[in-house]
Amino acid sequence: MRMVSSVAADDVLMGERWGVRIKIRLSVAVWLSGFLLLMGGGGLVQAVEEELSPYYLVKEYYIGVDDEIDVNVWRQPELSVSVPVRPDGMISLPLVGELKAEGFTPKQLSDLVRDRLAKFVRDPKVAIILTQLRSHEFLSQVRVLGAVGSVTSLPYRPGMTVLDVVLEAGGVSEFSSPNGTKLYRKFDDKTRTIEVNLKDILSEGKLETNYTLRPGDVITVPEKLF
């Protein structure tokens, strides 16, 4: 019974110690966040968080050539069609005829189709749904350059990381300098450079810089300087 009580007491004591450590770390984190905000660094904190976030949201999507769209007209099935955007940027719709779709957002195009249909249909309600986003395939790639097995461009997949892409490129070459690896990312119309300790990832399993990628990211692995 004494031994059980002793173990339980040790557990409680260890829990209290961990609790103190957690509280201290949280207090430091809260203090640091408050200090940065007080010093006008709120924008900096947000920029860093957004820069390394695995999620990337565009403000507007503009329809392009080869995209496929569904044009749905409420209670008008004969006017609802699925159409591709042709190389000239046009689409063909019942009653409306030829209409330019390239360069418009789905909302802008739905308003345009609605206005054209209003000549034939009373109070048409139009929805544009993008079913295939083919025009932006180039922007939906991630690329690996430099001292790797094979310089390559890969289709972006949600959740893919620096390590995933490097391995698909055949790993690093014997002449590489992995800890000089850089990740280049577009952010608010500017290109940011993010340090990647690739040697630590590959050799020691340290994954702190094994960042989750975004569409359009470019990874460069430099060669050794002899």
Asked whether residue 99 is domain-assigned, the answer is yes
Q: Rounded to a whole number, what is the distance in angstroms from the first to the last CA of the chain?
A: 68
pLDDT value for 58: 62
Residue 162, class by beta-carbon neighbours within 10 Å (0-12 exposed, 13-18 middle, 19+ buried)? buried
* Residue 101 included in any domain: yes
One domain for residues 74 and 17: no
Q: Clarify whether residues 101 and 167 are in a common domain.
A: no
pTM beyond 0.75, yes or no: no
Flag whether pLDDT at 50 surpasses 80. no
C-alpha–C-alpha distance, residues 179 and 171, integer Å: 13
**Angstrom distance (rounded) from CA 104 to CA 64:** 8
Distance, in Å, from the CA atom of 178 to the CA atom of 148, rounded to the nearest integer, reads 10
Let me know if residue 208 belongs to a domain. Answer: yes
**Could you tell me the residue range of the domain that residue 81 belongs to?**
68-132
**Each residue's pLDDT tens digit, 62-116:** 898 889 999 999 999 999 999 999 989 999 999 999 999 999 999 999 999 999 9
Whether residue 51 has pLDDT greater than 80: no
User: What 3-state DSSP class applies to 110?
Assistant: helix
By CB neighbour count within 10 A (0-12 exposed, 13-18 middle, 19+ buried), where does 95 fall? Answer: middle
Q: Are residues 22 and 74 in the same domain?
A: no
Q: Say if 60 falls within a structural domain.
A: no
Residues in CB range of 86: below 8 A, 6 or more apart: 65
Q: What is the pLDDT of residues 153-178, one digit of tens each?
A: 998 888 999 999 999 999 999 999 99
Domain end call among 116, 132, 148: 132
Number of domains in the chain: 3
pLDDT, tens digit, 9 for 90 and up, residues 126-150: 999 999 888 776 567 899 999 999 9
